[in-house]
Amino acid sequence: MKSKINFWDFFQNFGKSLMLPVALLAAMGILLGIGSSLSGKAVLEVLPFLGNPVLQLIFKFMTSIGLFAFINLPILFAMAIPLGLVKQEKGIAAFSGYVGFVVLNLSINFFLKETGQLATGSLRDAGQAMIMGIHSIDTGVLGGVLVGVIVYHLHNKFYEIQLPDALAFFGGTRFVPIITAFTISIVGLIVPLIWPFFDNGIRSIGAVIQNAGVFGPFLFIASERLLLPFGLHHILVAAVRFTSIGGEALINGEVVAGALNIYYAELGNGLPFTPEATRFLSQAKMPFLSFGLPGAALAMYHTARKENQSTVKSLLLSGALSCAVAGISEPIEFLFLFISPILYLFHTVLAGTGALVLAVLQVTVGNTDGNLIDLFIFGVLQGLQTKWYLIVLVGTVWFAIYYFVFKFAIIKLDLKTPGRDVATTNVQSSGKTLKNYAAEKMLEGLGGKENMVSLDNCITRLRISLKDSSLVQEAMIKEAGAINVVILDKSNVQVIIGPQVHIVKNQIQKILD
């Protein structure tokens, strides 16, 4: 059954689709970070045996491979967005995304050539670049996003099209890349006319954030935390990481836009890291992710009733480890988000303040996840010039603040965090092993098979479209292993599971199939 696409359904899934290339980027970033650090002067001075020619060749190879995702990011978005958004024939959607991106740049090239606008001098000064060997306008990640969204709509409209018998071979899914090529060829002729206005708008937004100085990171992290309950934070994060909103820098004669793009370009070229880029990256999350929220988890453990502490220990410990090691905050945040919005507001302010403090201290630790792995690879291994030790110092203070504030608030306001009830019935379910998630019960709590329209997941939550969300039984879903349930509107629901969400999604999908 085809469902009507509304605001929540589109933007939730749009945010989720961005995570596929970002996950690849994070992994390639680690490869790049290890390769560049172990071939850098700072590490070689301390560990001279790493200067072995064979080892250095390996490290340089790691650096080269690590640059793959950074160099090809726009086309990765063009393919990943339709792949993540469509419900059927995902492979065709991704293939069409590739077709669309190439056609877009060929069409732009045709327009520039025929109108005599192809730059003959500096491509950078003219806002142009060589993209996949095509002389085109440098639309960056936004060009890939544009293609991805268009392909998604074309796919949904035409993947089941029936053509007359004489043309039947071109019907169905084969028609999607065909209509994509024709449609985006026209779009490519329009882009050169409107791109300057759009580009100026993005740069203006970026200027506001950049002119905010050290308050820029505060606004970014605080806004991200406020958007997280709705699942829309990925969109803001992508804009800062990959567009001019996150800043611009001239590196090796080329303008690089986006905080993460700038950092990877500096990392790959062995250049000093700029605080203006890293202040929006991993270091901005580390005070609350690797230190603050684990402190909150400890406070929730100590304020639980004695008879319940052994029951909630695994839940809180796994949540703390998810924050510090995996960089995933939802398992802890959703334990207090709906119980005490005031406590979540405090968390939002303190998370933003942590980013502000590290920006003032000129720390330069980049990448994406904000966990202890990033701290080691992109901080410690890169040398003392990153000032990674200040993150540990600030983080220790943040741990103490979170612990004492949460403990005080939970006791003073009598907040029902895990283990605070006289009879704890559901908290242990969130700490279940994978095989104990009750998929059938969770599906029943969602209104059963007949109430399901679509099922998907992001890193920590199920994203579900229902015919009627009023049929949702939150208590039953929590008893089946969920941390929490968020009802966005009459047809869209999110079920917070944690890092093992893909297992639960597959279990439910098997029942639906």
How buried is residue 124: exposed, middle or buried, by Cβ count under 10 Å (0-12/13-18/19+)? middle
296 contact partners, CB below 8 Å, separation of at least 6: 332, 336, 347, 402, 403, 406
Could you tell me if 358 and 283 are in contact, meaning their C-beta atoms sit under 8 angstroms apart?
yes
Distance of CA 374 to the CA centre of its chain: 15
For residues 169-205, one letter each, b for 16 or more C-beta atoms within 10 angstroms of the residue's C-beta and e for the rest, the string is eebbbebbbebbbebbbebbeebbeebeeebeebeee
Query: Which of 391, 489, 483 has the alpha carbon at shortest distance from 428?
Result: 483
Could you tell me if 74 and 144 are in contact, meaning their C-beta atoms sit under 8 angstroms apart?
yes
Residue 458 annotated in active site = yes
DSSP code per residue over 376-444: IIIIITT-GGG-HHHHHHHHHHHHHHHHHHHHHHHHHTT---TT-SSS--SGGGGG--GGG--HHHHHH
Provide the 10 A C-beta neighbour count for residue 87: 17
Q: Which amino acid is at 105?
A: N
Q: Which of 458, 483, 485, 504 is catalytic?
A: 458
DSSP code per residue over 47-71: -GGGG-HHHHHHHHHHHHHHTHHHH
450 contact partners, CB below 8 Å, separation of at least 6: 467
Give the phi and the psi of residue 452 in degrees, each rounded to 5: -85, 135
Residue 4 DSSP symbol: P
Q: How far apart are CA 85 and CA 461, in angstroms?
A: 16
Q: How far apart are CA 461 and CA 402, in angstroms?
A: 25
Encoding tokens for residue 238?
């992508």
Active site residues: 458
